[in-house]
A and B are shown apart, each in its own frame.
Chain A
């Protein structure tokens, strides 16, 4: 399978704990995105990377959230001191990012986080 993969698929944690999610993009894609989706809503943009550089962050990304893409391949999203409001599906997407191309993003299956 050469699509976007995410791990874990499900995570249940207690309020106040830290969690980390991983995303592996399609291998030749140099752009990687994180979105958050709550029940009954469309995905909301959190942040994106061009190779290893984090180029844009949403105001939704509070200081408890941090994302990295250290070698320009896989990415991690960490949430510190989780709150019940963090419960959501966290989606990762990737795109080629060639100059002049429109930006078709391909999504992974998501990580569903439940904060008790």
Chain B
């Protein structure tokens, strides 16, 4: 069935360092890949997304890359700050194909150490 694997499950970095979270999806028909940040007791917040027709997208300190051949996409956070500490989820979807559900990864708990 459809599956998204996410690694690592936990990640600790020093403030100012970069963090990278990797996801792999199983359904080659997936064409939309959002990333969410979830803080304790809150719902997931969309932070960046990428569509299958591009290989990279950047928004200030956050970037996402997509390798369709390998069915692999990654989140890159540069110059990390303590407020980046949260759980991050990747997801895959076959948006525009009639089914709009997201398949989520299992999450990465990021700790930015001051």
Contact = CB atoms under 8 A, between A and B. Distances in A.
B46 A105 contact: yes
Contact of A107 (B4, B43, B106): B43
B90 to A, nearest CB: 8
Contact of A102 (B42, B51, B105): B51
Interface residues of A, number: 28
A107 B36 contact: yes
A33 B101 contact: yes
B107 A40 contact: yes
B95 interface: yes
Interface string B93-104: 101100111111
Nearest to B93: A103
Interface string A21-50: 000000000010101000011111100100
A19 B104 CA distance: 26
B73 interface: no
A104 B43 contact: no
Contacts of B89: 42-43
Interface of B: 4, 6, 31-32, 34, 36, 41-46, 49, 51, 89, 91, 93, 95-96, 99-107
